[in-house]
Chains A and B, each alone.
Chain A
């Protein structure tokens, strides 16, 4: 019963949600909307569980003086301080001039920006490895990347202006102009590969959903019978 009941609920609600895509009538759409609203409520309560785990794990580490415990202390202090200030501000805690807004603008946003800016360096190092030509496939990748990158900057067009009049690629209005070639690469082979992956992924989504709804995939119910 401990497994059958959740499986039953999953099957009924899952089928209802699929049905709601095809049947707009209120007999289906109203309960479907209700269940979607329930998700928001469940989600809100689940944050208590997450917060409790965060505090427990980090307090534990501080108490046991595990390596890096001062960082965890900072984390817990920041969490509690932000929460307390947010509650003290009350409704409109993110309005201009509030302390929460100050924390958001002067601490949170710069830290987010700092992490995001690391991406530029990581892209450079990853590209350096990706474009090392060791195999035929890596060579093709490097050539395609070179054409696309050059074709998207004015320099690429300047380099190939003399080839402007040649017409040989189907759908490429400006012949061997680099911008046209990169456009063709992006629109034809790149798009075809991307759509193939997307179609496969969409079917995978449906297959996974169906397995869960039918109760074939039940590992999310844990191991207890």
Chain B
């Protein structure tokens, strides 16, 4: 019978020793008898504990030397139990187990700054044997800096520096040049067409919640679109899939009408909460497209399988369609079914481009400069790797 099983607490090393003897004694007594149970395995040794670096003090790594009976094919050891206690006297609690042959484990269930003692129990068909000694105290502590993320920190700092420089230089009066983005120019064209036809504009800000930055980007564009619809006195319809984007979308549309100087035209019903369920949302939006026949469909945000369902339904109504997403797998669907598509970063640039505000446009230049930096680093990295020099790629590895 094993001394310890999953979920069982062992009371003290003395009792563990007695239990080991109890296991060993019957084994000795039955020695020489045919079909006797195999002896309990010899214990694992030299358990060492390390505080896992670069974390918030939630993990201790354990490394030990396997039991001499832990040999491939012998089957004397089937697994190791990792037991933990807050004092040398126990009680010992089983916290994890590994299969035979594995001599490393990370205990991620520890509390920060709490001393723990560990021991390894070798388990086999003949019983289990706790290690003769225990190891500790091991303490998990918080690190101040995650050094494996130094490369990300360096690039983030550089990026922020570039963006801040261009924002402040734009504030000083130097408006940076930004190339034309036909997809964004098409938004005004689409709204103009809806105005001529006397039909509404449909704006879909994606199907994700506000924690997806694409939804934020889509909602920021919505403000500019609402300004245009207010200017042209064209109704706008915004079905939203999550409640927080819904409240923000209401603010955006209201703000757009306010900025256009026509707050009285704002209708609270123009922004509607539909459903966070993907296909329920698709059904609702497709229904709006087919029943209310908007002349312009603008899809800006994060989309998944519904991208083609929406864009193809919209195409069948003959509406002018402009889409933008950074979800790479949905881009081909939008490219096929829409008149204009904003690809990846263009979605994030759209609000700056539409507003024309120098400070916002300045941030685009910062992004361009860091892209150039990344390009140079990629080329240098390729050259170094080809030459057998790996420090740059190793520095880039993060945890």
Contacts and interface: CB of A to CB of B under 8 A. Distances in A.
A53 B273 contact: yes
B1 interface: no
A51 B145 CA distance: 43
A90 interface: no
Contacts of B146: 21-24
A23 B144 CA distance: 5
A43 B220 contact: no
Contact of B252 (A43, A60, A203, A222): A222
Given A43-B243, A50-B243, A198-B328, A111 B279 contact: yes
Given A46-B243, A116-B279, A119-B305, A220 B220 contact: yes
A14 to B, nearest CB: 12
B248 interface: yes
Indicate the size class of the contact surface on chain A.
Answer: 35 or more
Contact of B159 (A43, A57, A200, A203): A203
B162 to A, nearest CB: 10
Given A29-B56, A53-B246, A198-B328, A208 B274 contact: no
A129 interface: yes
Interface in A11-31: 18, 21-26, 29
A23 B145 contact: yes
Interface in B255-278: 255-259, 269, 272-274, 277-278
A126 B308 contact: yes
A24 B54 CA distance: 7
Contacts of A53: 246, 272-273
B143 interface: yes
Interface residues of B, number: 86
A54 B112 contact: no
Nearest to B260: A223
B40 interface: no
A1 interface: no
Contacts of A129: 336-337
A123 B308 contact: yes
Contacts of B332: 130
Given A122-B309, A205-B348, A211-B363, A112 B277 contact: yes
Contacts of B219: 220
A200 B308 CA distance: 23
B297 interface: no
Contacts of A130: 332, 335-336
Interface in B14-36: none
A57 B284 CA distance: 13
A22 B54 CA distance: 9
Most B CB contacts (10 A, CB to CB) among A26, A127, A221 go to A26
A46 B242 CA distance: 9
Interface stretch (B84-92, B124-132, B208-216, B387-395): B208-216
B349 interface: yes
Contacts of B274: 54
A24 B56 CA distance: 5
A135 interface: no
A70 interface: no
Interface string B276-303: 0111101100010001000000000000
A127 B337 CA distance: 9
Interface in B115-156: 142-146, 149, 152-153, 156
B160 interface: yes
B42 interface: no
A224 B363 contact: no
A160 to B, nearest CB: 25
Interface in B341-399: 343-345, 347-349, 351-352, 355, 359-360, 363-364, 366-367, 370-371, 374
Contacts of B279: 111-112, 115-116
A134 B119 CA distance: 72
A115 B283 contact: yes
B348 A204 contact: yes
Nearest to A215: B359
A190 B223 CA distance: 34
B57 interface: yes
16 contacts: A25-B56, A26-B112, A46-B243, A49-B246, A49-B247, A53-B246, A67-B291, A68-B291, A122-B309, A199-B374, A201-B345, A208-B216, A210-B363, A217-B220, A223-B254, A224-B255
Interface of A: 18, 21-26, 29, 39, 42-43, 46-51, 53-54, 57, 60, 67-68, 71, 111-112, 115-116, 118-119, 122-123, 125-127, 129-130, 194, 197-201, 203-212, 214, 216-217, 219-224
Given A43-B244, A220-B252, 12 more contacts: A26-B56, A46-B246, A49-B247, A50-B243, A115-B283, A116-B305, A123-B308, A127-B336, A197-B344, A197-B345, A208-B213, A223-B256
